[in-house]
């Protein structure tokens, strides 16, 4: 989910910090602690019938060598977090347009051994790829909008790296990240002036490693210097002014990603392991605050961090090595919308946003003409304005529109004058829509002033002004023909460009 939580100290670290192996800790004791924490995590997840394992919990389980699909993490009827989450995703539940939602789910799917390009008829990998802006930043939303937050960018880099795919515009992605490094070497979730945070800095280091920046890189050293300067006398770290176990476990993951030995990171005679031991509860779980009860998220973070230490590599490095070859086996969500389709990215974006769900037979209907009732749903569900919230009341305006699924969508589109009937009493819901009609409606969605402009232009055919305005805004699909029915794929192509135009206009 979106996280809105967002002096120079430049001391040169001893080179030993950049060269020690990760196995200097007491592995058997650490293994026992990790396994005890894993048992506590199992009890916590079982309380909700293992419904919520696909996401960061799946990453922790994968790091520990467990599978969310195994009987251990499933119910007696075979259901588990995978089956539950897929049902949610299909119905657009628990999945906003925040890029971080797609990034955390992608990491969970990779960890659960699922195809992230066809889960719940959505392509989580493409959603992140499409969210990247021209400046290299992974936007705050998968609409491709927002540069306020740094966590979508950091998680985007880590998620794509974990998927084993090449990070697009890697140089720009790197430059954007490094430009957000503060004078003290740290990072924060927010862009602009803010106080450096050890958790964010640790994740930024993991992203730097994913981008191929080695230990000698100045930005890596500055980030490590910042973390070292933030270590307290108990061997741990504080975030937002509060000492806690999560910050220490996150720093451990960053150190592992660079092959550093956390045992050598001592302050007041204490290292991060000694610090974290004070957060361990009688149950074997870990509290967020000293003396508190075992916290499910803190326990999960310990499972992940200690597993990384025990393996000598981060969970993201482990996923990367596996998926570099595995990705070739991933199939598309819709058999009639292959990855190499010229309109793939546009139409899968609408599927990712829940605007188009495809047919009940599992196909997308790529080359089928879109019907008037289908288009009404696209207009309402896909509007950047909150039209979807108005869906409910039915219209009685047309004699040929029954009380089925399309009625409330037609009602909303009619209310906002996005569509009109074919007569005063008919709508022709199953009728096809020509290219000219599609563009006329999209111009109306641009705003009333654009429709007035279209109507005022010289014309031979009724649609000439609409086509002219639509062309100026880049809404025409290739091989556009005004009098030929538009296919579902062609409408997807133009509709996504409407998004792009509206987002640009808003800025």
Mean pLDDT over 127-134 rounds to: 96
If pLDDT is split at 50, 70 and 90, which confidence band does 357 have?
A: confident
Q: What was the pLDDT predicted at 500?
A: 83
In CATH, what number does 20-327 get? 1.50.10.20
C-alpha–C-alpha distance, residues 111 and 173, integer Å: 24
Res. 141: pLDDT tops 90: yes
- 3-state SS class at 290: coil
C-alpha–C-alpha distance, residues 246 and 239, integer Å: 9
If pLDDT is split at 50, 70 and 90, which confidence band does 501 have?
A: confident
Res. 16: pLDDT tops 60: no
Res. 20: pLDDT tops 50: no
Res. 333: pLDDT tops 60: yes
pLDDT tens-digit map of 255-290? 999 999 999 999 999 999 999 999 999 999 999 999
For residue 156, what are the contacts with CB-CB under 8 A and spacing of at least 6?
99, 103, 128, 131, 132, 138, 173
C-alpha–C-alpha distance, residues 234 and 272, integer Å: 8
Q: Are 451 and 443 in contact (CB under 8 A)?
A: yes
C-alpha–C-alpha distance, residues 441 and 454, integer Å: 11
| DSSP classification of residue 237 | E
Range(s) of the chain covered by CATH 1.50.10.20: 20-327
pLDDT tens-digit map of 157-195? 999 999 999 999 999 999 999 999 999 999 999 866 679
- 3-state SS class at 244: strand
Mean pLDDT of the chain: 91
Query: CA torsion sign, 191 to 196 to 199 to 201?
Result: positive
C-alpha–C-alpha distance, residues 471 and 502, integer Å: 15
pLDDT tens-digit map of 190-216? 866 679 999 999 999 999 999 999 999
Half-sphere exposure of 149 (CA within 13 A, CB side): 21
Res. 83: pLDDT tops 70: yes
Q: Are 210 and 174 in contact (CB under 8 A)?
A: no
Q: What was the pLDDT predicted at 499?
A: 84
Q: Are 142 and 102 in contact (CB under 8 A)?
A: yes
Mean pLDDT over 124-150 rounds to: 94
Q: What was the pLDDT predicted at 193?
A: 64
Mean pLDDT over 382-404 rounds to: 89
Report how far apart, in Å, the C-alpha atoms of 106 and of each of 222, 382, 395, 477 are. 30, 23, 40, 30
**Greater model confidence, 384 or 302:** 302
Label residues 309-326 b or e (16+ Cβ within 10 Å = b): bbbebbbbbbbbebbeee
Q: What was the pLDDT predicted at 507?
A: 60
Q: What was the pLDDT predicted at 386?
A: 76
C-alpha–C-alpha distance, residues 185 and 178, integer Å: 10
If pLDDT is split at 50, 70 and 90, which confidence band does 62 have?
A: very high
What is the model's pTM?
Answer: 0.90
Stretch among 258-262, 331-335, 447-451 having the lowest mean pLDDT: 447-451
For residue 209, what are the contacts with CB-CB under 8 A and spacing of at least 6?
257, 258, 314, 317
If pLDDT is split at 50, 70 and 90, which confidence band does 43 have?
A: very high
Res. 11: pLDDT tops 60: no
C-alpha–C-alpha distance, residues 223 and 234, integer Å: 21
CA angle 357, 347, 374 (to 5 degrees): 50
Helix axes 56-63, 99-111, angle to 10 degrees: 30
β-pair partners for 119: 122
Q: What was the pLDDT predicted at 144?
A: 87
pLDDT tens-digit map of 477-496? 999 999 999 999 999 999 99
């Amino acid at each position: 989910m979106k996280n809105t939580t967002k002096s120079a100290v430049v001391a040169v670290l001893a080179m030993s910090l950049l060269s020690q192996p990760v196995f200097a800790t007491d592995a058997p004791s650490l293994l026992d602690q990790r396994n005890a924490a894993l048992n506590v995590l199992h009890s916590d997840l079982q309380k909700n019938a293992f419904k919520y394992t696909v996401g960061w919990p799946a990453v922790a389980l994968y790091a520990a060598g467990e599978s969310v699909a195994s009987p251990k993490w499933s119910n007696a009827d075979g259901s588990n977090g995978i089956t539950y989450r897929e049902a949610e995703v299909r119905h657009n539940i628990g999945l906003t347009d925040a890029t971080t939602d797609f990034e955390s789910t992608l990491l969970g799917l990779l960890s659960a051994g699922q195809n992230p390009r066809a889960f719940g008829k959505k392509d989580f990998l493409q959603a992140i790829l499409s969210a990247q802006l021209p400046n290299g930043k992974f936007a705050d939303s998968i609409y491709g909008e927002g540069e306020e937050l740094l966590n979508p960018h950091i998680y985007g880099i880590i998620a794509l790296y974990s998927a084993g795919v090449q990070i697009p515009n890697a140089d720009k992605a790197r430059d954007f990240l490094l430009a957000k490094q503060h004078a003290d070497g740290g990072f924060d979730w927010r862009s602009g002036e803010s106080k450096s945070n050890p958790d964010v800095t640790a994740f930024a280091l993991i992203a730097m490693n994913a981008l191929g920046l080695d230990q000698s890189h100045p930005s890596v050293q500055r980030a490590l210097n910042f973390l070292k300067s933030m270590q307290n006398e108990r061997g741990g770290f504080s975030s937002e002014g509060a000492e806690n176990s999560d910050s220490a476990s996150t720093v451990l993951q960053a150190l592992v990603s660079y092959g550093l030995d956390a045992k050598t990171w001592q302050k007041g005679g204490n290292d991060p392991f000694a610090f974290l031991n004070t957060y361990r509860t009688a149950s074997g779980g870990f509290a967020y605050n000293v003396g508190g009860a075992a916290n499910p998220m803190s326990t999960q973070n310990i499972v992940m961090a200690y597993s990384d230490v025990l393996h000598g590599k981060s969970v993201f490095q482990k996923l990367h090595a596996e998926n570099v070859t595995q990705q070739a086996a991933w199939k598309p969500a819709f058999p009639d919308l292959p990855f190499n389709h010229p309109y793939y990215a546009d139409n899968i974006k609408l599927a990712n946003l829940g605007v188009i769900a495809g047919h009940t037979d599992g196909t997308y209907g790529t080359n089928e003409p879109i019907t008037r009732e289908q288009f009404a749903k696209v207009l309402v569900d896909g509007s950047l304005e909150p039209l979807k919230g108005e869906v409910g009341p039915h219209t009685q305006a047309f004699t040929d529109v029954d009380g089925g699924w399309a009625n409330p969508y037609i009602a909303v589109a009619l209310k906002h004058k996005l569509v009109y009937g074919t007569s005063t009493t008919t709508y022709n819901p199953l009728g096809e829509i020509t290219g000219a009609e599609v563009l006329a409606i999209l111009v109306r969605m641009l705003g009333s002033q654009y429709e007035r402009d279209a109507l005022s232009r010289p014309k031979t055919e009724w649609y000439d002004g609409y086509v002219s305005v639509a062309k100026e805004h880049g809404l025409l699909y290739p091989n556009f023909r005004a009098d030929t029915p538009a296919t579902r794929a062609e409408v997807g192509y133009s509709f996504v460009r409407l998004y792009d135009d509206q987002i640009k206009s808003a800025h």
